[in-house]
Amino acid sequence: MSDAPPITVLADQAAYAEAVQLAVDASAAYYGDGTSSLDDDAYDRLVRGIAAYEQAHPDQVLPHSPTGKVAGGAVVGDVPHTVPMLSLDNVFSAEQLADWAASLERRLGRPVTAFSVEPKLDGLAISARYRAGRLTQLVTRGDGVAGEDVSHAIGTIVGLPGRLAEPVTVEIRGEVMMTTEQFEQACAKRTAHDGTTFANPRSAAAGTLRAQDRPYVCELTFFGYAALPSPGDESDLAVRLRELPHSQIMAWVAEQGVRTTAETPVAGIVATSLEQVRERIEQIAAARPELAFGIDGIVIKCDLAEDQAQAGFSSRAPRWATAYKLPATEKITKLVAVEWNTGRTGVIAPRAVLEPVELDGSVVTYATLHNVADITRRGLMLGDSVVVYKAGDVIPRVEAPVVHLRTGDEQPIAFPQVCPTCGDAIDTSQERWRCVRGRACRAIASISYAVGRDQLDIAGLADNRIQQMLDAGLITDFADLFYLTREQLLALERMGEVSTDNLLAAIEHAKSQPLSRVFCALGVRGTGRSMSRRIARHFGTMEAIRAAGAEAIQAVEGIGPEKAPVVVAELAELSDLIDKLVAAGVTMTEPGATPSTSGGEQADAAEAAAALPLAGMSVVVTGAMTGPLETLSRNQMNELIERAGGKASSSVSARTSLLVAGDKAGSKRAKAETLGVRILTPEEFAELVALVPTPA
């Protein structure tokens, strides 16, 4: 849990007045249609700056200041709430959380009996009103006192049933949002309709919730977080909802068929101490990158109704609850330029150059842009304000332009007319543009990759030596390396007898590398080390891989209907290269693989796989290995994991089954401990997989 982020410092009264108006306008847009000129982090810093200025200059406080107001003073809607939908106060560090808890304890005059700890969902708060068990009305938060009627959205929101399990009259409050999958589907529908896209899931959800005349329907998701009886209702249910702990109320809500976070990896829990609260905060923060929906913090509240009643409310927020805000994974910045680079397979890839922006603890200057078609679909222009997104260790990517912030000075992005590396023509027949020379355009990069430690592992072949061989006409691809003679190498400048013999020995050894490494050396688009191992173990031989069609390739875990045809086409393109490797005597089989075709053989193979020591387990390796594993590279460790039936992963998450922690394991070990992941030393892991052959 990090220290509080800095505030926006306001130098004088004029700067304060300008900041107040900016915050009010941004809040109105945020709670209105989901758009804003500020991202969440910038807004939080601005409001904290306003609050600091007002504390120092109480005589200058403006009546429309966003401090002390629900939803920052946004005024949206005319449907009164039965009970105000208040905002939550925020904390940004462990110290501030402790201060809040101490203040709460002083107010109660005793320790808090139990805390409820839940994820703070990044969506729009709404009230769902049920009468006799039937959903009759949906109302947005608005300004907290009144909201907008959006009942037309009934029937389009997953997790918000038209009827509850019981015929009760009740108000369910929660968040409407889009999951990652729903957001992608919504963007595809909007792009097909008018060529534009949504900036981010929150604005997409806000626009969709209010849209009544769109020719297409976008699905939304609801997560409930509260249940309220109608004012004056004294039924048994109403009494229970006023007296039960929050955790029990949420269990009842789930029983009614309403979606809650209970079915997610970040389910709400009850903590009996502040230390347990901190632990759960760390666990939810660690799971954040793997979630199928957005969260921007963790909500901590008194679980017991009596504690809530005694703590009471301020003018804008309950005193018995607070939101621990997490660092932003999404920011708004400027798209300054687009760079075009040719990769080792000949694919021409764009890269966004951004105004530097701090994102999730690091300064981001570059971000991923997939291809020309992606740029066109998103409608990006140079000078655009763009949403940049990063989750966990993922490379930052540009989501979409913030269209309402355009000034008219934006310029179209110029697409390359020739290959930026060699100047030859570009094949534009597919979404991913490619130099017509293919791998030959960046032959040195392709060969250097193939001979790398995790592929063929041919020591002594630096880029300058590869370039020397290319210039001399000795090689055109990495398969030619296996046909080099001692005389040819000795004829090269600065190649003596010892270095020549060492290189030839390394090349000869490379012939015995397993199929997974040979396949990886090919550099097939859409595959890497892990996928190459899966393909090799699935088929067993290069002959079987080459004979497989798209449907057969798709049977490999992690290869979908879009990637499979690309793999088939790539293998056809690499046919001559593969033939040269076969003729040179390079290994084309995978040790330990048991490919099968008949039903009985498939059953036997499945039974054998299930008996492996790491069957079905996701394993992460971190730190320096010791003992029997000391000499293994990280790639060799991953090979060992997969030979033992496991799946090698690079990051710790809620799905991780096992962490192998060597010396100086660092943050991954700490994250695994917070998530309760099983941790083994290298020696313990070696014993676990002792019967599995070590990779060569």
- Averaged pLDDT for residues 25-29: 70
For range 367-392, the mean pLDDT: 84
- Residue 387 and residue 199 in contact, taking contact as beta carbons nearer than 8 Å: yes
- Report the chain's terminal Cα–Cα distance, integer Å: 42
Question: pLDDT: is 63 or 347 the higher one?
Answer: 347
Residue 26, burial from CB neighbour count under 10 angstroms (0-12, 13-18, 19+)? buried
Q: What is the CA 526 to chain-centroid distance, rounded?
A: 19
Please say whether the beta carbons of 249 and 95 come within 8 A.
no
Select the CATH number that applies to the domain covering 13-75 from these four: 1.10.3470, 1.10.287, 2.60.40, 1.20.950: 1.10.287
- Yes or no: say if 563 and 550 are a contact pair by the CB < 8 Å rule: no
Pick from 583, 584, 580, 572: nearest CA to 438: 572
Residue 600, pLDDT above cutoff 60: no
At 334, phi and psi to the nearest 5?
A: -100, 140
What sign has the CA pseudo-torsion 440, 444, 448, 451? Answer: positive
Cβ neighbours of 296 (radius 10 Å): 21
Amino acid at 118: E
* In contact, 198 and 190? CB cutoff 8 Å: yes
Distance CA 326, CA 324 (A): 7
Helices (H), 213-362: 236-243, 246-255, 274-287, 305-311
DSSP state of 24: H
Q: pLDDT tens digits, residue range 635-687? A: 888 888 888 888 888 778 878 899 999 988 877 888 888 788 899 999 999 98
**Mean pLDDT computed over 103-120:** 94
Task: Report the C-alpha gap between 79 and 374 in whole angstroms.
Answer: 41
- Tokens 């934006």 sit on residue: 410
The pTM of this model reads: 0.57
pLDDT (mean) for 20-33: 70
Sheet holding 115-121, edge to edge: 89-91, 321-325, 295-302, 115-121, 269-271
> Catalytic amino acids?
120
Q: How far apart are CA 32 and CA 43, in angstroms?
A: 15
Q: Where are the beta strands (DSSP E) in 320-359?
A: 321-325, 330-342, 348-359
pLDDT tens sequence across 299-325: 999 999 999 999 999 877 899 999 998
Read off the pLDDT of residues 410-437 as tens digits, 9 standing for 90 and up: 999 999 999 998 899 999 988 889 999 8
Is residue 695 predicted with pLDDT exceeding 80?
Answer: no
The domain spans of the chain are 13-75, 80-325, 330-418, 438-510, 515-595, 618-688
Residue 392, pLDDT > 60, answer no
Residue 471's CB: how many other CB atoms inside 10 A?
9
pLDDT tens per residue across span 192-209? 887 777 777 888 888 888
Q: What is the largest CA-CA distance in the chain?
A: 98
Phi and psi at residue 267, in whole multiples of 5°?
A: -55, 150
The pLDDT value recorded for residue 603 is 53
Coil/strand/helix, residue 158: strand
Cα–Cα distance between 407 and 409 in angstroms, integer? 6
Write down the pLDDT at residue 226: 95
Give the residue from 263, 245, 28, 286 showing the smallest Cα distance to 115. Answer: 245
Nearest to 153 by CA among 210, 106, 112, 109: 210
Q: How confident is the model at residue 22 (pLDDT cuts 50, 70, 90)?
A: confident
pLDDT of residue 311: 94
Residue pair 365/382 in contact (Cβ under 8 Å)? The answer is no
Two tokens at 331? 């920011």
Q: Which residues pair with 659 in a beta bridge?
A: 620, 679
Calculate mean pLDDT across residues 556-560: 84
Distance of CA 166 to the CA centre of its chain: 38
Q: How large is the average pLDDT for residues 54-62?
A: 84
Amino acid at 408: G
Most confident of 239-243, 375-379, 458-462: 239-243
d(CA 402, CA 422): 35
Q: Which CATH architecture has domain 330-418?
A: Beta Barrel (2.40)
> Of the segments 21-30, 122-131, 371-380, 383-392, which one has the largest average pLDDT value?
122-131
Q: Retrieve residue 663's tokens.
A: 């010396």
Mean pLDDT, residues 34-61: 76
Please give the pLDDT value at position 666.
75
Average pLDDT for 253-270: 93
**Lookup: tokens for 42:** 């910038």
Distance between CA atoms of 355 and 617, rounded to whole angstroms?
41
Query: Closest by alpha carbon to 149, among 178, 129, 165, 166?
Result: 129
* 171 bridge partner residues: 129, 228
Q: What is the pLDDT of residue 598?
A: 46
Give the span between the Cα atoms of 34 and 213, in whole angstroms: 18
CA distance 687 to 689: 6
CA 406, CA 396: separation in Å to the nearest integer?
Answer: 22
> Mean pLDDT, to the nearest integer, of 215-243?
91
Q: Is the pLDDT of residue 75 over 60?
A: no
Q: What are the start-end ranges of the H helices in 195-267?
A: 201-210, 236-243, 246-255
Burial label, 678 (beta-carbon count in 10 A; 0-12, 13-18, 19+):
exposed
* Fold agreement (80-325, 438-510): no
Distances (CA, A) of 122 to 175, 205, 466: 8, 10, 51
Q: Give the CATH number of domain 438-510; options: 1.10.760.10, 3.30.565.10, 3.40.50.620, 1.10.150.20.
A: 1.10.150.20
Residue 262: pLDDT over 80: yes
pLDDT over 80 (residue 597): no
> What pLDDT was estimated at residue 246?
96
User: For residues 207 and 124, is the Cβ–Cβ distance under 8 A?
Assistant: no
**How many Cβ atoms from other residues are within 10 Å of residue 181's Cβ?**
12
To the nearest 10 degrees (0 to 180), the angle between helices 575-583 and 563-573 is 60
Is it the case that residue 696 has pLDDT exceeding 50?
no
Here the tokens at position 291 are 């979630």
Instruction: Please state the rounded mean pLDDT for residues 8-37.
Output: 72
DSSP string, 425-443: -EE-SSSS-EETTGGGGGH
State the architecture of 618-688 in CATH terms: 3-Layer(aba) Sandwich (3.40)
Amino acid letter, 368: T
| Span 145-201, pLDDT tens digits | 888 899 999 999 999 999 999 999 999 999 999 998 898 898 888 878 877 777 778
Cα 24 from Cα 619, distance rounded (Å): 48
Hey, how many other C-beta atoms are within 10 angstroms of the C-beta on 213?
5
Query: In this structure, what are the phi and psi dihedrals at residue 474, rounded to the nearest 5 degrees?
Result: -80, -30
Q: By three-state DSSP, how is residue 262 classified?
A: helix
Q: How confident is the model at residue 340 (pLDDT cuts 50, 70, 90)?
A: very high
Question: What percent of the chain is predicted at pLDDT more than 90?
Answer: 45
Is the distance from CB of 247 to CB of 272 less than 8 angstroms? no
Number of Cβ atoms within 10 Å of the Cβ of 3: 10
How far, in Å, CA of 26 to CA of 47, rounded?
11
Q: How much is the average pLDDT of 218-222?
A: 93
The CATH-assigned architecture of domain 515-595 is Orthogonal Bundle (1.10)
- Distance in angstroms (rounded) separating the CA atoms of residues 271 and 583: 66
Out of 328-337, 462-471, 524-533, 588-597, pick the least confident. Answer: 588-597
Average pLDDT, the chain: 86
Beta-ladder partners of 147: 79
The pair of three-digit structure tokens given for residue 212, joined into one six-digit string: 């009544």
Tell me the pLDDT tens digit for each residue of 275-302.
Answer: 999 999 989 988 887 888 989 899 999 9
* Second-level CATH architecture of 80-325: 2-Layer Sandwich (3.30)
